[in-house]
A = this chain, B = another copy of it.
Amino acid sequence: MSLVIVGSVAFDTIETPWERREKIVGGSCTYCSLAASYFTRPKIVAVIGEDFPKATINLFKKRSIDLKGLKIIPGGKTFHWQGRYGHDPNQRETIRTDLNVFENFRPEIPASYKKADILFLANIDPDLQETIFLQVEKPKLTAMDTIGLWINSKPEVLLRVLKQVDIFFGNDEEIRMITGERNLIKAGRRILGLGPKLVILKKGEHGALAFGRDFIFSMMANPTEDVIDPTGAGDSFAGGFLGYLDKVGGFSQREIRRAAVYGSVMASFTIEDFGIDRYKTLQPSEVQARYEFFKKLVSF
């Protein structure tokens, strides 16, 4: 199988209550593809400037990520997001966004990506997400993520994209915004009426819920004492989830449940260090060990 991920590769400036990091590598596509690379060989579509670090490109290559769809704009500057987390890692505030090379980005799917089995539209402008459907042959599975900014500013196109995907990844706030429903269970189920066959509700430190049309699956987050940097947790969740499905090549309820646990596992590694630093050392054996830990954590 094959997994194509369209999203952002970026610089992030991050403030937590304890520490600040200036212009470290981030972006939805970055986190998602790194997480997915522990299961499959993801193909990415994104844009960066000439200022993007070679060391990260080398990390992508070492992780066997297909970079044919990664456009480098000569003389361009990479997209930059600056945000601040409070003591509650589930809440963050955007301080500044420099679009840079993203301003004129029109994602182009390379010929070798067009027969993707799984297509993931990571968080970017839904106008861009919508242009992707025309560029690929019908994937077996499509999934999307978004943020509150787009739900507020571009609801029509967002709902059109939502209607065309099989899986929607959203956090509690986003799912409440889309449906106008406070109760998370009702809200999650309401999303199923808008197109997707599966909704993954991400609740940060409280885990995640997967709503299918005929089942519900609940998974806890890793009970960790140290959340260093929550950035990218959701994108890594999607990466672990879709990477696993791409690897096993099936979408049965049983595989969906396991995929969701692998999603939680990858998110739990991401938040253990700033930016993508954890991926510089993370071993496949650690991924498997944490999956087994999750099993023990909930078994009775």
Contacts and interface: CB of A to CB of B under 8 A. Distances in A.
Interface in A219-239: 219-220, 223-227
Contacts of A105: none
A115 interface: no
Contacts of A227: 183
Interface stretch (A30-38, A66-74, A128-136, A203-211): A203-211
Given A205-B184, A260-B300, A300-B258, A223 B216 contact: yes
Nearest to A186: B225
Number of copies: 2
A59 interface: no
Nearest to A218: B220
Given A206-B203, A206-B206, A206-B207, A218 B186 contact: no
Contacts of A209: 223
A276 B223 CA distance: 33
A220 B299 CA distance: 12
A124 interface: no
| Best-surrounded residue of A216, A225, A226 (most CB of chain B within 10 A) | A225
Contact of A216 (B205, B226, B295, B297): B297
A218 B225 contact: no
Given A203-B206, A206-B206, A219 B186 contact: no
Contacts of A257: 299-300
A185 interface: yes
A297 B261 CA distance: 13
A185 B225 contact: yes
A231 to B, nearest CB: 18
A54 interface: no
A217 interface: yes
A258 B258 CA distance: 22
A254 B296 CA distance: 11
A298 interface: yes
A253 B261 CA distance: 23
B300 A218 contact: no
B297 A223 contact: no
A230 to B, nearest CB: 13
Nearest to A203: B206
A280 interface: no
Contacts of A62: none
* 4 closest A-B pairs by CB: A257-B300, A206-B206, A218-B220, A298-B298
Given A217-B297, A257-B300, 20 more contacts: A183-B225, A183-B226, A183-B227, A185-B223, A185-B224, A185-B225, A186-B225, A207-B207, A207-B218, A207-B220, A209-B223, A216-B223, A217-B300, A218-B220, A218-B297, A254-B300, A257-B299, A258-B300, A261-B300, A298-B298
